[in-house]
Amino acid sequence: MVAVLLMLPAGPITVAAGHAFGPVVGVLVAALATCLASCLPFLLGRTLLHGLVARRLARVADWPVIAEAVRRSGFQVVALLRATPLVPFPVLNYLVGATPVRLRDFAAGSFARMLPATIVYAWLCSLLPDPRQAVQGVGPIPWGLLAALAVLTLVVGVLAHRALRRALAAAREDVVAAAEARRAASGRP
């Protein structure tokens, strides 16, 4: 959890869990630890750091649209944000804490999106005699597998980015309609 609070990558934890506990227990340990660890900065962004995070987000022109999208479809938007490389995971944990998303939707969306990568990394690293080989490579097959995973990650990221843009466009329509309704109700043009 300290790694997540300090905004360090969780990948080494997943590699270590797969190597130390094997593929099944390693996936369970890494997935649960990563998901629980992401909830701590989320809760900090919702409580102690809410003012700071909200002030930063207020500077973002599309913030009302993003907040509306998260309010409407928290699980889906969190999972989509996790699938796109727009914002690093550690930063995203704090930022999403300032949105109206429920903790359960944040945790479930995070878990659902992190689980496939956790399974792959923990399983692959459980097969290695030395976890350092995860970055050193052990021949053409692992490098080919890593290249295939990189391409798959890119494709998923592009598809998720498109879905996220559609969700934001729908939320933008609602925000504009609500603003027009408030303006009409107040009698201002």
Could you state, in order of their start, the residue ranges of all structural domains in the chain?
2-186
Question: Given pLDDT bands bounded at 50, 70 and 90, which one contains residue 107?
Answer: very high
Instruction: Choose between 187 and 32: higher pLDDT.
Output: 32
Question: Given pLDDT bands bounded at 50, 70 and 90, which one contains residue 4?
Answer: low
Amino acid at 3: A
Query: Which ranges of the chain does DSSP label H, i.e. alpha helix?
Result: 2-5, 11-21, 23-46, 50-58, 63-72, 74-83, 89-97, 103-126, 133-136, 140-186
Phi, psi of 125 (to 5 degrees): -75, -20
Q: What tokens appear for 99 in the block?
A: 């949105």
| 51 alpha carbon, distance to own chain's centre | 22
CB atoms near residue 47 (< 10 Å): 10
What is residue 10's three-state secondary structure?
coil
Write down the pTM of the prediction: 0.73
